[in-house]
């Protein structure tokens, strides 16, 4: 990283000006998000088909999940989305301190989400709902085989989401550091926006994951 010694910030060398760079980064992020959409879309498709094949077993299995904790978690995630949006605005208005604070809050909320998620996983493991080969799968509802299928999808979907959360938290940490060091204020605005898009996407995906696995229950 070169420090911007000039007063006017320079775009990366392949771009004509900062505006072009901003557009390009923006577009790149949108394209990236569309690939993410297709990734989750494929798994959702698999889930949907299996739910269609075994509606009762899936609904019953969903009933075994802890709705309360996950609703709390949903609220946590939404707040983090809100603080991220505020952070973007603050940074856009050159209010650096506020922006840094809001980014920090977002990170903390993201981590809280992951912690609760981990706790929920742990509870489920104790209940014997985690269908891993080395764990005993115990399930007292109807058609346990299909229920196991449900739990497989549940862990894949929430696991993929949690992985994206981790990446998102990491990305916010990086922009936080960049803002802290004041390397390049003009690019910082852009970087925060880009990361914000990603975070918003992760929030939205959760809505679908939550609906599909928790709310469609018996």
Partner 1 sequence: MSAVVPTPPASHYLNPPWGLKSWLLTTDHKRIAWLYVISLSGFFFLGGIAALLIRLELLSPPTDFLTEDFYNKMFSLHGIVMVWFFLIPSIPATMGNFLVPLMVGARDMAFPRLNLLSWYIYTIGGLLLIASVVLGGVDTGWTFYTPFSSQYSNSFVVPAAMGVFVVGFSTILTGLNIVTTTHEMRAPGLTWFRLPMFVWGNYSVSLLMVLATPVLTAVLLLIALERMLDLGIFNPALGGDPILFQHLFWFYSHPAVYMMILPAMGVVSEIIACFTRRPLFAYKSMALSILAIVLFGFLAWGHHMFVSGQSIHAGAVFSLFTFMVAVPSAIKVFNWVMSLKEGYIQFTAPMLYALSFLGLFTIGGLTGVVTATIGLDVHVHDTYFVIAHFHYIMVGASVTAYLGGLHFWWPKMTGRMYPERWAIVAAVALFIGFNLTFFPQFLLGIAGMPRRYASYPEEFQFLNVMSSLGAGVLAIGYLLPLVYLPWSLVRGKRAPSNPWRATGLEWQTTSPPPVHNFKVTPVVTGPAYDYR
Q: Which residues sit at the interface with partner 1, rule CB under 8 A?
A: 12-16, 20, 23-24, 27-28, 31-32, 34-43, 45-46, 49-50, 53-54, 57, 131-133, 143, 145-146, 148-149, 152-153, 156
**At closest approach, how far in Å is the CB of 74 from partner 1?**
24
Judged by beta carbon, residue 20 or residue 211, the one nearer partner 1 is: 20
- List % helix, strand, coil for the chain (3-state, nearest 5): 80, 0, 20
What is the closest distance, in whole angstroms, from the C-beta atom of residue 117 to partner 1 in the complex? 19
Q: Smaller CB distance to partner 1: residue 76 or 157?
A: 157
Per-residue CA distances from 93 to 96, 99, 134, 158 (Å): 8, 9, 53, 35
Closest separation between CB of residue 38 and partner 1, Å?
A: 4
CA gap 178, 109 in Å, rounded: 20
* Shortest Å, Cβ 82 to partner 1: 28
Torsion-angle region of 66 (φ positive above 0: left; ψ -120 to 50: alpha; else: beta): beta
- Distance in Å, CB of 10 to partner 1, minimum: 14
Q: Whose Cβ is closer to partner 1: residue 37's or residue 116's?
A: 37
CB of 100 vs partner 1, minimal distance in Å: 26
Residues near 139 by beta carbon (within 8 Å), at least 6 away in sequence: 61, 64, 128, 129, 147, 148
Q: Which two tokens stand for residue 55?
A: 């509606």
Judged by beta carbon, residue 75 or residue 174, the one nearer partner 1 is 174
Token digits of residue 117: 């998620």
| Interatomic CA distance for residues 53 and 172, integer angstroms | 40
Comparison of 61 and 77: residue with beta carbon closer to partner 1? 61
Can you give the length of the chain in residues? 218
Q: Residue 96 or residue 190: which is nearer to partner 1 going by CB?
A: 190
State the residue for tokens 């229920």: 147
């Amino acid at each position: 990283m070169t420090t911007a010694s000039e007063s006017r910030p320079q775009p990366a060398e392949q771009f004509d000006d900062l505006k072009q760079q901003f557009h390009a980064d923006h577009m790149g992020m949108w394209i990236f998000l569309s690939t993410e959409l297709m990734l989750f879309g494929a798994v959702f498709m698999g889930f949907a088909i299996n739910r269609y094949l075994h509606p009762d077993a899936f609904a019953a299995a969903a009933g075994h999940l802890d709705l309360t904790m996950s609703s709390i978690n949903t609220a946590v995630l939404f707040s983090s989305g809100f603080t991220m949006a505020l952070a973007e605005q603050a940074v856009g208005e050159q209010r650096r301190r506020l922006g840094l604070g809001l980014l920090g809050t977002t990170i903390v909320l993201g981590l809280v989400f992951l912690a609760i998620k981990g706790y929920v996983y742990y509870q489920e493991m104790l209940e014997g709902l985690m269908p891993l080969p080395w764990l005993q799968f115990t399930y007292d509802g109807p058609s346990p085989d299909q229920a196991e299928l449900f739990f497989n999808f549940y862990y894949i979907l929430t696991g993929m989401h949690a992985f994206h959360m981790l990446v998102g938290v990491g990305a916010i940490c990086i922009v936080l550091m960049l803002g802290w060091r004041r390397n390049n204020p003009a690019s910082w605005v852009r970087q925060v926006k880009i990361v914000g898009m990603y975070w918003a996407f992760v929030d939205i995906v959760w809505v679908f994951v939550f609906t599909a696995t928790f709310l469609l229950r018996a």
